[in-house]
Amino acid sequence: MSLSVLAQEAAANGIDNKGLAALTYGLGAIGPGIGIGYLVGQSVQAMARQPEAAGMVRTTMFLGIAFVEALALIGFVVFFLGGA
Amino acid sequence: MTAPVVAARDLGPATERQVAADLVRRGLLALPVVAAVGALAWGLDGLASVALAAGLVLANFWLSAALLAWAARISLGLLMGVALFGFLLRLGLISAVVLAVADQPWLEPLPLGITLVVSHLGLLIWETRYVSASLAFPGLKPSPPEE
């Protein structure tokens, strides 16, 4: 189901701005979830194969997670400013 | 032919804690400037909103590092789970705190939202510059503590 169809359904069913903002926040959190899963999976594999490089991998992983989280944070702020 | 050695956990130094401590230190250094901007533009309400958002960002970094460092010492599988559920937990905590105070008269939504995003990204970019430099040029790394 495309986003335009979702928007039309929302309009037809009387969903207000708050509902749409919450839906957008939920959809926006999917991407970072996938991103963190992929990032940590690859990092764990790297640490398991090369334990001597674990310090560097963990530093990069932590910063990567925080950068990906910024996307979810932006989604939350848009939800808060737009709908709440 | 020997089987490859696969590590199941990492007992090395908790680098996440070092990075998070750096982030918090830099955040506290920048906080007076950001708070002053909030106070000038939105008054005392802006100051309170900016302080709340900055506190949330710093607490988020600290909690993330503490959870990851704890899990890495136990098992790499747990690290995977903690990273994913930690993401959910921390996002839920931020949402709960912000929504809990959303109706308070002193809350200014705009400075709160701007501070959440800008301070999170700004601190990360600041830290990444340092980390990138120290990984590329190991000579720039701070010397290990004297024993």
- Sequence spans of domains, chain B: 15-128
Neighbours of B3 (CB within 10 A): 5
Q: Name the residue of chain A whose CA is nearest to B126's CA.
A: A63
Residue among B116, B117, B131 minimizing CB distance to A59? B131
Residue B4 pLDDT grade (very low, low, confident, very high; cuts 50, 70, 90): low
- Counted across chains A and B, CB pairs separated by less than 8 A come out at 111
User: Tens digit of pLDDT for each residue in A36-70?
Assistant: 999 999 998 888 888 888 888 888 898 999 999 99
pTM of the shown model: 0.81
* Chain A contact set for B90 (CB, 8 A): 69
User: Tens digit of pLDDT for each residue in B62-81?
Assistant: 999 999 989 988 888 888 89
Chain B closest-CA separation from residue A20 CA (Å): 17
* Contact (Cβ atoms closer than 8 angstroms) between residue A76 and residue A11: no
Alpha-carbon distance A44 to A50, whole Å? 10
> What pLDDT score does B63 carry?
93
% chain B with pLDDT above 70: 85
> What pLDDT score does A50 carry?
86
* Chain B contact set for A51 (CB, 8 A): 5, 7, 10
Interface confidence, given as ipTM, is 0.79
Kind and range of the H or E element at A75? helix A54-82
Residue among A59, A72, A80 minimizing CB distance to B98? A80
